[in-house]
């Protein structure tokens, strides 16, 4: 292991690194008074900028979460690096040669020195290698890659612009090349570029067309790989780098390094579905196009884009356009956005190309102007969701209009912004040719249905009379239940277990009062009682679709999903009254009570894990033979846990 970095070199690195430039790689800044810039904080989720940078002082400070420091601590925090890795990263960027002093004292900062930089270097060399193979006319196998690009309208210059390459079919060409350049087996497997087989190292990507996936600063951190050959042993059309220390799929957007500037300048981001779509969009002049890599568009992606879009409360709303190539999938995504983030939904637009074409096909068939027009003509996501729902009915008949109204009402009811709802009711009433009052009544009814507690009687869908909807267990299921180890019933003398029970009751009975992302963030292990964890497992599986389900369907689905031994418990929890007073007007439990339940369960879990991790870190730090990789991993985990807990408290504490 290399020793400590020479102190003078550290000072030089710090001097050369402009805090303004480095922060701008992650956050869009605007002037805020003399000598100060501000933007949305990268360390906590916010809508009003409280993250301040003072370039002359070389410092940053966030008034929202209290994070602050100099350029080194910024890079360390935002990229989860150790001190030494940060210095190496910045030195590499500015071409500063570092001197190391021997006999490192084993300080924490030196653990895993340079590991991240080595993985980035391996990716850079791999990318160059793949690119050269693609354009090597003497190679027969690479021809399939060149043909694929040409058939989709991409010439050599376009391929080069995006760094597209080809992975040879041989099996270990890359492994040999990288080993020849001094990379170790461990580095290549850790980077996800190679794997170990019975006959030594082999390449992860073989006979595929490759797109380098870059982080926001432009460093390649992974690859996306398209299948080209019928005899490819991996059936997946697209393979991506698996999670590695430098590649987290929920946090990368393909093309963001190229699109960042345009997104900030135009305050518009365009989400397309694949690598070729990003290329086609950029080449057509839609410069703010990005795509997720092998995962659905999620909360982390929203956070990243929000910072670049300067999506701040006091600004005109930014625009985010989703292109979908099919109505069904598109509508699903549209509805999901409603459940996740209302503000986000309100500024989201949907573009569906004619005949289900994707941007790449559209550019081929109708040219770049058609791709630009597709994005410009996008319709608001809400409008899209209602129109696709309404389109299923025949609006020429009175009966069809009523059915359409009933189907559309829950979508309008899902809009939580009370200022926006009346506006939408007017608009949709116009589309359907219905009386505004009639639609308003239906929307209120839908809103009540969505939040009606099933314990209450009456004719609503939450009524007991309809609970026969539960399927009786089949003989085989009964048998499985008997064979399965019985579940110990939770011990309700424990206050944490009581909080768990109430949280499960509340989620089952008042699901619309919970944020889907908040629930998805809670791991099942957060529930200390095994039976509670099993019930929550079922909830987690169904919760993504909760917004589109009626109260009855929601509970039925969860009950069907949970492990058989806890079905009865799930049914009990979905009717047992909560020990809190309900609001006489809305019939809902107070929001503060619900927030306290989420906080109680999730926070207690995080605190337990933080205590465990802290003790591991302490032990490893005092063990001279301690495992350096493990210490680094646990330290990083500890940091993430603390950040998660701080955010949770910030959001849920009144």
Q: Is 78 in the site for Zn ion (CB under 5 A)?
A: no
Cβ distance to Zn ion smaller for residue 73 or 379 = 73
Residue 546 in contact with residue 567, Cβ under 8 Å? no
Options 5, 23, 41, 601; binder of Zn ion; rule CB under 5 A: 41
Span of 41-49, 92-100, 528-536, 543-551 interacting with Zn ion by CB under 5 A:
41-49
Segment near Zn ion (CB under 5 A); pick from 64-72, 347-355, 363-371, 562-570: 64-72
Residue listed under structure tokens 């063990």: 623
Size of residue set near Zn ion by CB under 5 A = 6
For residue 500, the minimal CB distance to Zn ion (Å) is 31
Please identify, using beta-carbon distances, which residue of 43 and 166 lies nearer to Zn ion.
43
Instruction: For residue 307, state whether it binds Zn ion (rule: CB under 5 A).
Output: no
Q: Judged by CB under 5 A, does residue 44 bind Zn ion?
A: yes
Closest separation between CB of residue 221 and Zn ion, Å? Answer: 24
Q: What are the angstrom distances between the C-alpha of 596 and each of 576, 600, 653?
A: 19, 6, 8
Q: Give buried/exposed letters for 100-129 (b at 16+ CB in 10 A, else e).
A: beeebeeeebbbbbbbbbbbbbbbebbbeb
Stretch that binds Zn ion, among 44-52, 268-276, 434-442, 639-647 (CB under 5 A): 44-52
**Cβ closest to Zn ion, residue 152 vs residue 647:** 647
Q: Please identify, among the stretches 35-43, 237-245, 373-381, 552-560, the one whose residues bind Zn ion according to the rule CB under 5 A.
A: 35-43
Q: Segment near Zn ion (CB under 5 A), from 60-68, 74-82, 184-192, 231-239?
A: 60-68
62 is a contact residue toward Zn ion (CB under 5 A): yes
Q: Is 201 in the site for Zn ion (CB under 5 A)?
A: no
- 8 A C-beta contact, residue 349 and residue 321: yes
Residue 62 or 283: the one with the smaller Cβ distance to Zn ion is 62
Reported as type and span, the H/E element at residue 38 is: strand 37-39
Least distance in angstroms from the C-beta of 87 to Zn ion: 24
Applying CB under 5 A, which part among 65-73, 138-146, 472-480, 637-645 lies near Zn ion?
A: 65-73
Nearest-angstrom CA–CA distance, 601 and 528: 9
Can you say how many angstroms the Cα of residue 82 is from the centroid of all Cα atoms in its chain?
24
Pick between residue 44 and residue 214 the one whose CB is nearest to Zn ion: 44
**Span near Zn ion by CB under 5 A; candidates 42-50, 88-96, 190-198, 549-557:** 42-50
3-state secondary structure of 197: strand
Closest CB 46 distance from Zn ion, rounded Å: 6
Q: Which of 96, 112, 70 is nearest to 16 (CA)?
A: 96
Which CB atom, from 53 or from 529, has the smaller least distance to Zn ion?
53
Of 56-64, 187-195, 300-308, 587-595: span binding Zn ion (CB under 5 A)? 56-64
For 265-289, b/e burial (b = at least 16 CB within 10 A) is eebbbbbbbbbbbbbbbbbbebbbb
Considering only residues 557 to 576 of the shown chain, the ones binding Zn ion according to CB under 5 A are none
State both tokens at 268. Answer: 């518009």
Question: Which two tokens mark 487?
Answer: 């579940």
Q: Does 43 bind Zn ion (CB under 5 A)?
A: yes
Q: What CA–CA distance (Å, rounded) separates 505 from 576?
A: 7
Residue 265 parent element (H or E)? helix 256-266
Minimum CB–partner distance for residue 246 and Zn ion (Å):
24
CA atoms of 369 and 353, how far apart (whole Å): 13
In this structure, the strands spanning 319-324 and 289-292 are unpaired
| Distance from C-alpha of 538 to C-alpha of 322, rounded to nearest angstrom | 30
Q: What is the rounded radius of gyration, in angstroms, for the C-alpha atoms of the chain?
A: 27
The Cα–Cα gap between 654 and 39 comes to 25
Closer residue to Zn ion in complex, CB, 43/297: 43
- Residue 514 binds Zn ion (CB under 5 A): no
Contact 102, 3 (CB under 8 A): yes
Q: Which C-beta is closer to Zn ion: that of 38 or that of 226? A: 38
Residue span binding Zn ion (CB under 5 A) among the ranges 39-47, 286-294, 421-429, 455-463: 39-47
* 50 or 217: CB nearest Zn ion: 50
- Closest distance between Zn ion and the C-beta of residue 45, in Å? 9
Cβ of residue 66: shortest distance to Zn ion, in angstroms?
7
Smaller CB separation from Zn ion, 64 or 523: 64
* CA 602 to each of CA 316, 501, 596: distance values in angstroms, whole numbers, following the listed order: 35, 13, 10
Tell the smallest beta-carbon distance from residue 639 to Zn ion (Å): 15
Which residue number, 40 or 599, has a Cβ lying nearer to Zn ion? Answer: 40
- Give min distance, CB of 647 to Zn ion, in A: 10
Task: Examine residue 64 and tell whether it contacts Zn ion (CB under 5 A).
Answer: yes
Task: Check binding of 223 to Zn ion (CB under 5 A).
Answer: no
Torsion angle in degrees (nearest 10) through CA of 272, 275, 276, 280: 60
Min dist. Cβ of residue 646 to Zn ion (A): 10
Per residue, the 3-state secondary structure of 417-458, as one string, reads: CCCCHHHHHHHHHHHHCCCHHHHHHHHHHHHHHHHCCCCCCC
Give whichever of 305 and 533 is closer to Zn ion, judged by the CB atom: 305
Q: Which is nearer to Zn ion, 24 or 152 (CB)?
A: 24
Q: How far is the CB of 47 from Zn ion (least distance, A)?
A: 12
Per rule CB under 5 A, is residue 29 in the interface with Zn ion?
no
Residue 7: exposed, middle, or buried by beta-carbon count in 10 A (0-12, 13-18, 19+)? exposed
Pairing of strands 165-167, 208-214: antiparallel
In terms of CB distance, is 62 or 381 closer to Zn ion?
62
Give the binding range for Zn ion (CB under 5 A) out of 43-51, 68-76, 513-521, 600-608: 43-51
Rounded to whole angstroms, the Cα distance separating 60 from 62 reads 7
CB of 63 to Zn ion, least distance (A): 8
What distance in Å separates the CA atoms of residue 52 and residue 249, rounded to the nearest whole number?
29
65 forms part of the interface with Zn ion (CB under 5 A): yes
Give dist(CA 423, CA 196) in Å, integer.
60
Give contact residues for Zn ion (rule: CB under 5 A). 41, 43-44, 62, 64-65
């Amino acid at each position: 292991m290399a020793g400590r970095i020479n102190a003078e070199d550290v000072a030089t690195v710090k001097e050369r690194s402009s805090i303004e430039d480095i922060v701008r790689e992650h956050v869009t800044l605007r002037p805020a008074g003399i000598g100060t810039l501000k933007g949305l904080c990268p360390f906590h989720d916010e809508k009003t900028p409280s993250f301040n940078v003072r370039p002359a002082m070389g410092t940053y400070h966030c008034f929202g979460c209290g994070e602050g420091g100099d350029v080194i601590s910024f890079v360390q925090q935002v990229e989860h690096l150790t001190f030494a890795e940060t210095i190496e990263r910045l030195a590499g960027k500015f071409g500063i040669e570092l001197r190391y002093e021997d006999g490192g004292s084993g300080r924490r900062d030196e653990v895993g020195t340079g590991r991240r930089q080595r993985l980035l270097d391996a990716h850079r060399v791999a990318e160059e290698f793949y690119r050269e193979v693609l354009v090597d006319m003497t190679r027969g196998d690479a021809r399939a890659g060149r043909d694929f690009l040409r058939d989709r309208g991409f010439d050599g210059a376009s391929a080069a612009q995006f760094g597209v390459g080809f992975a040879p079919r041989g099996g270990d060409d890359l492994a040999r090349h990288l080993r020849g350049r001094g990379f170790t087996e461990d580095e290549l497997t850790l980077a996800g570029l190679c794997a170990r087989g019975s006959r030594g190292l082999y390449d992860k990507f073989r006979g595929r067309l490759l797109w380098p996936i870059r982080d926001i600063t432009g460093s390649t951190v992974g690859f996306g790989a398209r299948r080209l050959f019928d005899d490819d042993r991996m059936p997946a059309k697209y393979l991506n780098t698996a999670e590695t220390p430098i590649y987290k799929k929920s946090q990368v957007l393909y093309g963001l390094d190229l699109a960042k500037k345009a997104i900030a300048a135009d305050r518009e981001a365009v989400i397309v579905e694949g690598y070729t779509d990003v290329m086609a969009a950029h080449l057509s002049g839609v410069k703010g196009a990005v795509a997720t890599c092998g995962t659905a568009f999620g909360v982390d992606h929203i956070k990243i884009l929000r910072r670049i879009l300067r999506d701040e409360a006091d600004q005109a709303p930014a625009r985010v356009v989703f292109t979908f190539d099919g109505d069904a999938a598109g509508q699903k995504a549209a509805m999901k956005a409603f459940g996740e983030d209302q503000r986000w939904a309100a500024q989201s637009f949907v573009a569906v190309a004619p005949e289900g074409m994707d941007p790449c096909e559209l550019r081929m068939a109708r040219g770049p102007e058609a791709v630009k027009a597709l994005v410009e003509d996008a319709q608001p996501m809400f409008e899209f969701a209602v129109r696709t729902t309404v389109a299923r009915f025949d609006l020429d008949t009175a009966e069809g209009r009523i059915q359409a109204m009933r189907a559309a009402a829950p979508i309008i009811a899902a809009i939580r912004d009370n200022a926006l709802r009346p506006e939408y009711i007017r608009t949709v009433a116009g589309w359907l040719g219905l009386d505004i009052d009639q639609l308003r009544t239906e929307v209120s009814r839908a809103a009540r249905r969505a939040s009606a507690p099933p314990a209450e009687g009456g004719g609503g869908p939450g009524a007991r009379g309809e609970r026969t909807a539960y399927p009786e267990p089949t003989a085989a299921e009964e048998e499985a239940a008997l064979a399965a180890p019985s579940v110990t019933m939770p011990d309700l003398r424990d206050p944490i277990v009581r909080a768990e029970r109430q949280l499960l009751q509340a989620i089952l009975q008042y699901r619309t009062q919970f944020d889907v992302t908040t629930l998805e963030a809670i791991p099942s292990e957060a529930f200390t009682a095994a039976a509670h964890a099993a019930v929550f497992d079922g909830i987690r599986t169904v919760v993504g679709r909760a917004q589109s389900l009626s109260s009855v369907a929601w509970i039925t689905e969860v009950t069907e999903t949970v492990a058989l031994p806890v079905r009865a418990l799930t049914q009990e929890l979905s009717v047992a009254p909560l020990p809190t007073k309900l609001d006489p007007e809305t019939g809902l439990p107070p929001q503060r009570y619900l927030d306290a339940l989420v906080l109680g369960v999730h926070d207690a879990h995080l605190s337990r894990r933080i205590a465990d991790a802290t003790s591991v870190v302490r032990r490893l730090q005092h063990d001279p033979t301690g495992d350096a990789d493990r210490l680094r991993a646990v330290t990083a985990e500890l940091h993430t846990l603390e950040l998660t807990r701080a955010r949770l408290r910030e959001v849920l504490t009144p």
